């Protein structure tokens, strides 16, 4: 065990400066002011839930971002971590110390309602993002989680056989000690992605409190959300950089929160530097030549869904190279940020309604310009005019990890567009009297999570399709979770007002499966795929679809997440514009349903107030049996959109003038692309 290494502190070998950059916690643990974490070499480490064999020179870092009920004191819930490594064994070690005055443990086994932690780790640490593993730990390692797919195989070698964790408890202090055995050499200056979620349950009400190292949730979706750990040894020399970003042209809400710093000699080695509210940043780095890489490209925050915003693109100046010198501070040139205006929306010299007269070349030009402006990886677009498909193309790549091109088979998450498809299934079943739209659903299939509220007996298929159920949009974590969840509370009496709810659609889906004795995929094939020619699309995810899927993105970062393997009438359809056109053409020409069912779609059921309108707030808008209908200057626009945060989509059609547009994207900025496209097609 190495105990005399001083270089790991922020000013390399300069022992006289160490006290300047370290201070003591209440436990006498050195807590570095370093922006990123430093891991030093060590040997003979035993994983036993104790850090008595850890080097005294190891740095400790506060896990500082807190979510939960107000804390009573510093001893209520506080956490720190440290990292070391042993290159001779290719092993990386992490210790997490948690001070908690009320420790909760479930002796019956781990069920989530006890003190535990999640460890996020990314071996590759690519600047474009990736798919980190995350591990759940309590008294022992519960599970190592990998995201599905082969988009990012860099962490596949890490599993229960290569990761070990032991939790120790001494008084009010818990220690989670981890060992990660890698297949690659752990060389100095290597950088890993690392983060934590520390969960504290107290017996009094079992309130859940959470601590994170770097702020922000959803860390398993993309490694760009993790913190950075750099490995050093006795030969590593460190220096400090400090700089400033000029925010003068930005609104307060538009300021960036971090900037990436990339090694010129080793581009795979990069770290984030946090930027404060005045634009200042500083961090310590191994010596060498570096350059800045903007981590945020747009005025909206990276974590934003992009819905109904006015996102504009940044332009960065003065992001050239700089040198980090040993034991010195380098002041970098002030980085200037300006905002690039959105491209102008013009349909050329088109007379009348643009969608009826715009050329293929003009559509091509619009899509290319706006796709590039928002850096949307993939766009699938169909434009129908005069009842014929006029434009049907896909653009871009499946994801920013592999850069594989999309084609007419590429699948996108349709998100809430699924609701309109499911509603059509229900209307077809109602026509054959398989379900009565006005019969209370509890008479078909009780919903145990709602039975405590007598008002739930008012729920009918029609009320749910009209978004008047009173259920929240999502009560739990998604399809299927109702089976293990508790009671759900109604927000209002069903049938009395508007309340958008995916959870209600999922309840209706279970009723349909119960009535028919068939699963939703089978019903979809019978009621939608055949009559509406919506082929090669799926009502839920299976591994067989993987090679066809485009990954979702949050701005430029791919989001590697689990797919919906349980059919969800609210959200689980996968398709694209090329495939979905059959469904839209069928609706537009009133095929597959009786005239009386189409009248249910056209006529208002739930009239929306201005603050409830999902689309253009200036137009009359209503919900009717699974569709949104706008009364525009061009006539009825029947539509539905989908937004899963990293996928955005929408279709709209006019049954009288026989025009339609369908757009699928794999980006959180797709919503803004779609709104611009609508203006391009519909505004005179």
Query: Which helix (H) or strand (E) element contains residue 263?
Result: strand 258-263
Q: Residue 104: its pLDDT value, please?
A: 83
- Reported as a pLDDT band with limits 50, 70 and 90, residue 514 is very high
Q: What is the pLDDT of residue 306?
A: 54
Query: pLDDT category, 204, cuts 50, 70, 90?
Result: low
Give the distance between the most distant pair of CA atoms in the chain: 85
pLDDT value, residue 648: 96
Lowest mean pLDDT among 54-58, 223-227, 442-446, 665-669: 223-227
Range from 191-195, 605-609, 647-651 carrying the lowest mean pLDDT: 605-609
> Once rounded to an integer, what is the mean pLDDT over residues 121-137?
90
Q: Which residues contact 331 (CB under 8 A, 6 or more apart)?
A: 241, 242, 243
Burial class of 143 by CB neighbour count within 10 A (0 to 12, 13 to 18, 19+): exposed
| Confidence band, pLDDT 50/70/90 cuts, at residue 121 | very high
Q: What is the dihedral of CA 248, 252, 254, 255, to 10 degrees?
A: 70
pLDDT, residue 34, reads 46
Q: What is the pLDDT of residue 26?
A: 29
Q: How confident is the model at residue 22 (pLDDT cuts 50, 70, 90)?
A: very low
* pLDDT attached to residue 76: 79
Closest CA to 242 of 269, 208, 279: 279
Q: Give yes or no for a contact between 558 and 401, defined as CB atoms under 8 angstroms apart.
A: yes
Question: Which pLDDT does position 309 carry in this prediction?
Answer: 77
Identify the band that residue 1 occupies on the pLDDT scale cut at 50, 70 and 90: very low
- Average pLDDT along the chain: 88
- Is 625 or 147 the better-scoring residue by pLDDT? 625
Task: Kindly write down the DSSP assignment for every residue of 462-514, as one continuous string.
Answer: HHHHTT-S---S-SSSSTTGGGG------SS-TTSS----HHHHHHHHHHHHH
The predicted structure's pLDDT at residue 193? 95
Asked if the domains 15-231 and 238-340 are classified in one and the same CATH topology, the answer is yes
With a cut of 50, say whether residue 55 has pLDDT above it.
yes
pLDDT tens column, 528-546: 999 999 999 999 988 889 9
This prediction has a pTM of: 0.89
**Span 673-678, mean pLDDT?**
95
- pLDDT band of residue 53 (cuts 50, 70, 90) is very high
Model confidence at 91: pLDDT above 90:
yes
Note the pLDDT of residue 203. 67
Asked if pLDDT for residue 5 goes beyond 60, the answer is: no
Res. 507: pLDDT tops 80: yes
pLDDT digits (tens, 9 = 90+) for 384-434: 999 999 999 999 999 998 899 999 999 999 999 999 999 999 999 999 999
Helix (H, G, I), strand (E, B) or coil at 675: helix
pLDDT of 476 reads 81
CB contact set of 424 (below 8 Å; sequence gap of 6+) = 527, 528, 532, 583, 587, 592, 593, 626
Q: What is the mean pLDDT of residues 666-679?
A: 94
Q: How far is CA 212 from the centre of its chain?
A: 17
pLDDT band, residue 337 (cuts 50/70/90)? very high
- Assess if CATH 3.40.190.10 describes domain 238-340: no
Mean pLDDT of 357-364: 95
pLDDT computed for residue 27 by the predictor: 28
Distance CA 383, CA 390 (A): 6
Tens-digit pLDDT profile for residues 66-75: 998 877 766 7
Three-state SS for 169? Answer: strand
10-14, 105-109, 160-164, 513-517 — most confident range? 513-517
pLDDT at 308: 62
Q: How confident is the model at residue 352 (pLDDT cuts 50, 70, 90)?
A: confident
pLDDT digits (tens, 9 = 90+) for 640-669: 999 998 999 999 999 999 999 999 999 999
The pLDDT of residue 4 is above 70: no
For residue 147, the model assigns a pLDDT of: 80
The domain locations on the chain are 15-231, 238-340
Average pLDDT over residues 596-602: 97
Domain spanning 15-231: CATH 2.60.40.1190: yes
What is the share, in percent, of the chain residues with pLDDT greater than 90? 69
Confidence (pLDDT) at 107: 65
Residue 206 pLDDT greater than 70, yes or no:
no
Q: Is the pLDDT of residue 442 over 90?
A: yes
Q: Which residues contact 439 (CB under 8 A, 6 or more apart)?
A: 460, 461
Please say whether the dihedral angle defined by the alpha carbons of residues 192, 80, 177 and 207, taken in this order, is positive or negative: negative
| Distance (Å, whole) CA 586 – CA 605 | 22
């Amino acid at each position: 065990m190495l105990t005399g290494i001083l270089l790991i502190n922020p000013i390399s070998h300069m022992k006289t400066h160490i006290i300047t950059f370290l201070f003591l916690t209440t436990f006498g643990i050195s807590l570095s002011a370093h922006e990123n974490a430093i891991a030093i070499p060590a040997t003979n480490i035993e994983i036993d839930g104790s850090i008595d064999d850890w080097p005294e020179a190891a740095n400790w870092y506060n896990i500082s971002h807190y979510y939960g009920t107000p804390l009573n004191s510093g001893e209520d819930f506080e956490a720190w971590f440290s990292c070391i490594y042993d290159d001779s064994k290719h092993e990386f070690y992490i210790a997490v110390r948690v001070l908690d005055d009320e420790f909760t443990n479930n002796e019956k086994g781990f069920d989530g309602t006890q003190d535990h932690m999640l460890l996020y780790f990314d071996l590759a640490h690519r600047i474009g993002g990736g798919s980190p593993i995350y591990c759940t730990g309590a008294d022992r390692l519960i599970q190592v989680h990998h995201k599905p797919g082969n988009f990012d195989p860099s962490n596949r070698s890490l599993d229960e056989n290569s990761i070990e964790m032991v939790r120790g408890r001494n008084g009010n202090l818990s220690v989670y000690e981890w060992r990660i055995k890698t297949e690659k050499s752990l060389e100095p200056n290597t950088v890993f992605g690392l983060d934590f979620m520390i969960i504290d349950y107290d017996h009094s009400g079992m309130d859940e409190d959470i601590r994170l190292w770097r702020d922000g949730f959803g860390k398993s979706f993309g490694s760009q959300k993790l913190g950075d750990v750099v490995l050093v040894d006795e030969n590593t020399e460190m220096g400090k950089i400090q700089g400033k970003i000029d925010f003068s042209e930005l609104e307060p809400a538009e300021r960036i929160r971090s900037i990436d710093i990339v090694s010129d000699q080793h581009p795979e080695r990069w770290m984030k530097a946090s930027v404060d509210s005045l634009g200042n940043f500083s961090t310590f780095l191994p010596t060498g030549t570096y350059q800045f890489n903007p981590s945020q490209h747009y005025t909206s925050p990276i974590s934003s869904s992009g819905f109904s915003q006015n996102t504009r693109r940044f332009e960065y100046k003065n992001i050239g190279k700089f040198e980090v010198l040993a034991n010195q501070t380098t002041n970098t040139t002030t980085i200037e940020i300006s905002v690039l205006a959105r491209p102008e929306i013009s349909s050329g010299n088109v007379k009348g309604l643009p969608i009826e007269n715009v050329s293929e070349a003009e559509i091509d030009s619009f899509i290319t310009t706006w796709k590039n402006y928002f850096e949307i990886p993939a766009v699938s677009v169909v434009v129908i005019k005069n009842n014929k498909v006029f434009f049907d193309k896909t653009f871009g790549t499946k994801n920013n990890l592999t850069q594989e091109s999309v084609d007419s088979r590429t699948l996108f998450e349709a998100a809430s567009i699924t609701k309109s498809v499911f509603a059509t299934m229900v209307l077809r079943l109602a026509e054959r009297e398989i379900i009565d739209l006005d019969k209370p659903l509890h008479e078909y299939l009780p919903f145990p999570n709602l039975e405590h509220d007598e008002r739930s007996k008012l729920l009918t298929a029609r009320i749910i399709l009209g978004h008047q159920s009173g259920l929240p949009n999502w009560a739990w974590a998604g399809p299927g979770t109702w089976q293990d969840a508790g009671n759900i509370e109604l927000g209002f009496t069903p049938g009395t007002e508007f309340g958008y709810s995916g959870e209600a659609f999922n309840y209706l889906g279970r009723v349909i499966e119960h009535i028919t004795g068939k699963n939703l995929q089978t019903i979809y094939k019978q009621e939608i795929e055949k009559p509406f020619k919506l082929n090669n699309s799926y009502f839920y995810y299976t591994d067989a679809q993987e090679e066809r899927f485009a990954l979702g993105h949050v701005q430029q970062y791919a989001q590697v997440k689990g797919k919906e393997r349980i059919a969800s009438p609210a959200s689980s359809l996968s398709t694209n514009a090329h495939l979905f056109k059959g469904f839209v053409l069928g609706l537009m020409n009133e095929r597959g349903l009786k005239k009386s069912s189409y009248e249910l779609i056209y006529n208002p059921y739930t009239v929306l107030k201005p603050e409830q309108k999902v689309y253009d707030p200036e137009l009359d808008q209503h919900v009717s049996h699974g569709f949104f209908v706008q009364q525009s200057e061009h006539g009825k626009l029947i539509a539905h959109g989908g937004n899963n945060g990293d996928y955005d989509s929408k279709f709209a059609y006019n049954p009288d003038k026989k025009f339609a547009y369908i757009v699928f994207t794999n980006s959180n900025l797709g919503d803004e692309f779609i709104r611009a496209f609508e203006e391009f097609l519909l505004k005179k």
